[in-house]
Amino acid sequence: MLWTVEGIRNDFGYGSLDPYLIDTAFNENERFKGLNGTEILIIKDIYRDWWNSLKDKDWKNKNPLENTTYVWF
C-alpha cells in the first residue's frame, strides 16, 4: 500500500520499479535481503506521521523517507 501512496505522491504512478523497500544503511549484500517486521512498522509510522502533518498542505512535494536511510528500490 505504501508503494501505491509513493506513486501517487511522485506522479509516476508507481513508487519505484519494484514495490521493494531497502535500507541503505546496510552494505549492499545485506540491504537487498528486505526489511524485517519491525522495520516495516517503522516505515508505516513514518508515512502516517508524514500524512498527518501534511494532509492539508503540499504533501506531494515532501518525500516521507527523505531524512531516513530507507528508499524504494
Over residues 3-21, the pLDDT tens digits come to 777 877 877 665 566 678 8
- Residue 25 clears pLDDT 90, i.e. is over it: yes
Query: Which among 1, 3, 4 has a CA at the least distance from the CA of 72?
Result: 3
User: In the structure grid, which three cell numbers stand for residue 63, read together?
Assistant: 518525500
Query: Which among 73, 59, 64 has a CA at the least distance from the CA of 23?
Result: 73
Query: Rounded to two decimals, what is the model's pTM?
Result: 0.78
Least confident of 19-23, 46-50, 67-71: 19-23
Give the domain ranges of the chain. Answer: 2-72
